[in-house]
Structure 1
Amino acid sequence: MKKISKTVNNYNDISKDIKFLSNSMVRLNILKNLYESAMNMKDINQKTKINYSAISNNIHALEINGLIYRENNRYYLSNAMRVYMGDILKLASLMVLIERLSPILHDHIVKSLPRDSIDNFHLLQDIDLIEADGLNIYKTYDVIEKAIDKSDYVNAILPFSSNNFNDGINRLLLKNKKIHLISPLDIKEILIKNLDVSNANFKIDFFDFTEFLLLCTDKNMILGFFKDDGTYDQNRLLTSANDECIKWANDLFENFKKENV
């Protein structure tokens, strides 16, 4: 009972703080800027364009609630508030990301990704959604082929065989680039027949099946999904040249290999 009572009290305290913060965009704006750096009232005014009267009133309320403190005429977030704001900003950023990527997250099989990769999906802030259109119905395939041709190494989870992809991989092998593929067993014979599997720089593993496509290179990452009906969505891809996104993709590759190969 004591444990339950403590949990309820903690919930009530947190709920009270959240309501206090969310009731005022002025407070949230001030806290967001203080999260980035300590400021005095003049700094806050110049950064937010909020008038001094509103700043003063809200600063006073934030101080009374123990969410900020003043030192040498500059305002700082309390340790608890810094944690709150970090979580709030991360959640807000994730919601924007999910909204932007909704065309590929909705009605697609995302749960096939390793759990650790899903948990870190918020790291994909600098990712772009590429969609085929009437002018170029093969746009997504072109993106993958160009990424292969320009890479110095490739780690890939390929759920299907493509002559153009196979040719690109063989060209890289002729340049002594390292390739590691993971593909489903049902296309094993096709890949062995069409790829230079004897090349010392080439490694290929097989597993039962996958419901996504992944390409990791030194320059970018590419991610594609299957639709809920079990067909691969050849019209949409997520891609990025951001280092953090590339690291996320390589971690996904390693997590998938560890769990399935």
Structure 2
Amino acid sequence: MTSHETKKQLTKEFSGLKYILTSEMRSKLLLTIYDDSKNLDDLRNELKKPSATILHGLKELENNNLVRKVQKYYELTSNGYLITTNMIKLIENWYSVNKSKLFWNNHDLSDLPDDALKNMYLLKNAEYVNSTTSDLSNAFNAYIKQISKARKLKIILPIYSENHFRHLITLLDGNELECLELVISEELENAMRQNEYIKQSILENEKVRIKTIKNNVKLFLTISDEAVCLTLFFKDGHYDDSQILIATDDEALKWALNLSAYY
């Protein structure tokens, strides 16, 4: 968690953040010259604003050591580059959370570590899938579709679900799945060992590696060769199988692997 002193410092620095974000011109100027320096004509053509407005914004950024002029071209200073990089991250985080706001609003996020929460932008391409009254299995079927052709699976499994076990056993019995890594709590492992069929088919299967953690976690994360799937728990503690996030890009894989490594 952020310390009290750090929070006080963040509050002080908010004025600087507000200075950038409350000005559409200042924000757009930083974003426009982020990848490449631009002259006034370039900026006027891209921003569709008069020279006087652009020059006023550039002067303000120069005074704050965020932009400098080299001959006829404007470029970011090192401070400007760092600020703009993190501004982009903030915008992408905002977009990612807002895009799947129903998913995040409905669930308990307490077992997502700070780094996972701060890097939500890595999930900006994730697809939100939910079940409906006409198709109660929509989310689960989307999950099974994603794992059905996997060669390797890494799963943080928080629930005892014979429905999930049955599909995993089918995959293990086939030729596609080469390796299954399960991260489970001591309590869940003990429960699985009470069922002889699950014990032999999963826990004692040579394709399966078990990593046991002391406590259960309120998230169900699956990482395959091509997809990341995340389901969570309601705030009342019950597991929700009706809503899922699915992503198939490298950024989401990076987010999921970091979360998996944390546990």
Bin of the TM-score, shorter chain as denominator length: 0.7 to 0.9
CA distance in 1 between counterparts of 2:9 and 2:144 reads 57
User: What one-letter code is carried by the residue in structure 1 that aligns with 2:80?
Assistant: M
Indicate the SS of the match to 2:95: helix
Q: 1:157 to 1:11 in 2, by over 3 A?
A: closer
User: What one-letter code is carried by the residue in structure 2 that aligns with 1:204?
Assistant: I
1:47-86 paired onto structure 2 within 5 Å = 47-86=46-85
Unaligned stretches of 5+ residues in structure 2: 1-7
Q: Does 1:34 align with 2:33?
A: yes
* CA deviation after TM superposition for structure 1 residue 255, in Å: 1.6
1:2-13 paired onto structure 2 within 5 Å = none
Q: Does 1:198 align with 2:204?
A: yes
- The CA deviation string for residues 91-129 of structure 1, in whole angstroms up to 9 with x for no partner, is 222222222232222242211124443343332222222
**Range with bigger deviation, 134-143 or 89-98:** 89-98
* CA deviation after TM superposition for structure 1 residue 151, in Å: 0.9
Q: Does 1:188 align with 2:195?
A: no
Kept after mapping to 2: 8 A contact 1:154/1:178: yes
Indicate the SS of the match to 1:36: coil
1:102-251 paired onto structure 2 within 5 Å = 102-173=101-172, 174-175=174-175, 177-184=178-185, 185-186=187-188, 187-189=191-193, 193-194=197-198, 195-207=201-213, 208-251=215-258
User: What one-letter code is carried by the residue in structure 1 that aligns with 2:262?
Assistant: N
* CA deviation after TM superposition for structure 1 residue 16, in Å: 5.8
Question: What TM-score, normalized by structure 1, do the two folds share?
Answer: 0.83
- The CA deviation string for residues 186-222 of structure 1, in whole angstroms up to 9 with x for no partner, is 4323665233443322123444422111111010001
Q: 1:33 to 1:166 in 2, by over 3 A?
A: same
- The CA deviation string for residues 137-179 of structure 1, in whole angstroms up to 9 with x for no partner, is 1011101211221211000022224444333323332315100
Q: 1:213 to 1:181 in 2, by over 3 A?
A: same
User: What one-letter code is carried by the residue in structure 2 that aligns with 1:75?
Assistant: Y
Q: 1:11 to 1:222 in 2, by over 3 A?
A: closer
Aligned residue for 1:5? none
Kept after mapping to 2: 8 A contact 1:214/1:222: yes
Aligned residue for 2:262? 255
* CA deviation after TM superposition for structure 1 residue 57, in Å: 2.8
* CA deviation after TM superposition for structure 1 residue 18, in Å: 4.0
User: What one-letter code is carried by the residue in structure 2 that aligns with 1:199?
Assistant: N
Unaligned stretches of 5+ residues in structure 1: 1-7, 257-261
User: What one-letter code is carried by the residue in structure 2 that aligns with 1:156?
Assistant: I
User: What one-letter code is carried by the residue in structure 1 that aligns with 2:153?
Assistant: V
Indicate the SS of the match to 2:124: coil
Indicate the SS of the match to 1:155: strand
Aligned residue pair count: 248
CA distance in 2 between counterparts of 1:11 and 1:226 reads 32
Kept after mapping to 2: 8 A contact 1:216/1:222: yes
Q: Percent identity?
A: 21
Kept after mapping to 1: 8 A contact 2:228/2:246: yes
Kept after mapping to 1: 8 A contact 2:127/2:247: yes
- The CA deviation string for residues 51-101 of structure 1, in whole angstroms up to 9 with x for no partner, is 233223322333344331111311001211222222222222222222223
CA distance in 1 between counterparts of 2:56 and 2:108 reads 49
- The CA deviation string for residues 203-251 of structure 1, in whole angstroms up to 9 with x for no partner, is 2344442211111101000111111111111211111001121122122
